[in-house]
Structure 1
Amino acid sequence: MAVMTRVWLTDWEWLCCGDPFAVGDEVDFGIRSRAPGEHLVELLGPALAVTVDGIESHHEEEYPDRLRGRVVAIYSVAHEIIERRTLRRPGHGAPPTATMPAEGEDWPMTGKDLGNGVFVGTRPTRYVVETVPVPDSASLEPVRGVRLPEAQQDPPDAYVAEPADDAPGERRARSLAGWLVDVEERA
């Protein structure tokens, strides 16, 4: 007898690694938890979070709780976020001993001169960006798979922002949060 199980996959784990899969494929997921935690309830909203039967993970450890079965549906989950840009100040994203650059100037470059005209370095931006999720703003979009080759991937529309400028302030955007995967689990 088959059981339908909905599994949450986090964007940060699956955007970097994990085997690609599509609707109709057989999967074997390590399940970290069978109950959504507070963070997932905040992200998805209570009505959607209650439909989640398992939280997949494959980075930190090998989980003995396994979910094996055939994928019957995949939904990308996007949510609204607010990006807040504030001017970087010494002690607030810059070293406490840093001297604030004059208005219109960049923070100084730190790095190393490797010789022959090669310099490796970094420079912090003038702003610290804080990302705040908007509660109960999750939306689902059916997709064909997760980590599919570019030619098979659904059109990217999970991150749509207002026109960007590099000034302080706020802007709203939609951001990919993860995937809900419906699996016909074999008992």
Structure 2
Amino acid sequence: MTRVWLTEWEWACCGDPFGVGDEVDFGIESRTAHPVLADVLGPEVLATVDAMESHHEEEFPDRVRGRVVAVYTVTREVIERPSLRRPGHGAPPDATMPPDGGEWPMVGRASGEGVFWGTRPSRYMIEIVPVPGTARLTPTRGVRQAITDQTEQLWSAVDPAADPPPEQRRRTLSGWLVDVQEQAQEVR
């Protein structure tokens, strides 16, 4: 049995969906879990990870091929904290900070006949801070392919001058742990 880590962002953009019982062929970036993953999983769960899957940067010769026997969704808590946008922190480093109460300048272009298309960023941005020790593994039937359309409207899209929402704590998807019963490799 081989336990493989799949990162949420990679599978959200272009991983093929699969479920328990399906045959898989994962490109393996490393047989050693990245230390950063300890912050997500905690040391006990990290010790169970046998391989790190990746399919974005290159074709990896190391493979895990076999039948999926279990899939676990890995979530963790984060704190979403509003902070004032400032140069180098959500705005270009060479940006000029607007005066207190002022708005960031409009970004866009004129399309002719007096029409201007553009956006103005909010005065605030949301920092997402992971909460250590909050990883949760939940058995699931498979891994999805794409990020679904978000039904929640971002607060800053409503009114860029609006006050930010209060700090909040929520649970987010980090990735999946997939247990694979590897097949014996053919010798040629």
Q: Give the structure-1-normalised TM-score.
A: 0.81
Counterpart of 1:52 in structure 2: which amino acid?
A: V
Q: CA deviation at 1:79?
A: 0.4
Q: CA deviation at 1:70?
A: 0.4
For residues 129 and 146 of structure 1, the distance between their equivalents in structure 2, rounded to whole angstroms, comes to 28
1:98 matched to which residue of 2? Answer: 96
Q: CA deviation at 1:13?
A: 0.1
- Preserved contact between residue 86 and residue 168 of structure 1 (Cα < 8 Å): no
- Preserved contact between residue 101 and residue 107 of structure 1 (Cα < 8 Å): no
Consecutive unaligned residues of structure 1, counting only runs of 5 or more, are 154-164
1:130 matched to which residue of 2? Answer: 127
For residues 136 and 62 of structure 1, the distance between their equivalents in structure 2, rounded to whole angstroms, comes to 33
| RMSD, aligned α-carbons | 2.5
CA separation of 1:124 and 1:142: change in aligned 2, threshold 3 A: same
Q: Give the structure-2-normalised TM-score.
A: 0.80
For residues 181 and 31 of structure 2, the distance between their equivalents in structure 1, rounded to whole angstroms, comes to 16
1:60 matched to which residue of 2? Answer: 57
2:42 matched to which residue of 1? Answer: 45
For residues 14 and 166 of structure 1, the distance between their equivalents in structure 2, rounded to whole angstroms, comes to 34
- Preserved contact between residue 12 and residue 145 of structure 2 (Cα < 8 Å): no
Aligned partner of residue 98 in structure 1, secondary structure: coil
**134, 139, 142: which one pairs with 2:139?**
142
For residues 21 and 143 of structure 2, the distance between their equivalents in structure 1, rounded to whole angstroms, comes to 12
CA separation of 1:170 and 1:149: change in aligned 2, threshold 3 A: closer
Percent identity of the aligned residues? 62
CA separation of 1:116 and 1:132: change in aligned 2, threshold 3 A: same
C-alpha offsets along residues 36-78 of structure 1, whole Å, 9 cap, x if unaligned? 1210111100001111110000000000000000011111100
For residues 183 and 120 of structure 2, the distance between their equivalents in structure 1, rounded to whole angstroms, comes to 53
Counterpart of 1:138 in structure 2: which amino acid?
A: A
Q: Does residue 14 in structure 1 map to residue 11 in structure 2?
A: yes
Counterpart of 2:37 in structure 1: which amino acid?
A: L
Counting matched residue pairs gives: 171
Consecutive unaligned residues of structure 2, counting only runs of 5 or more, are 149-161
Q: CA deviation at 1:84?
A: 2.0
C-alpha offsets along residues 105-157 of structure 1, whole Å, 9 cap, x if unaligned? 5422111011367543232221132222111210011111112699xx9xxxx
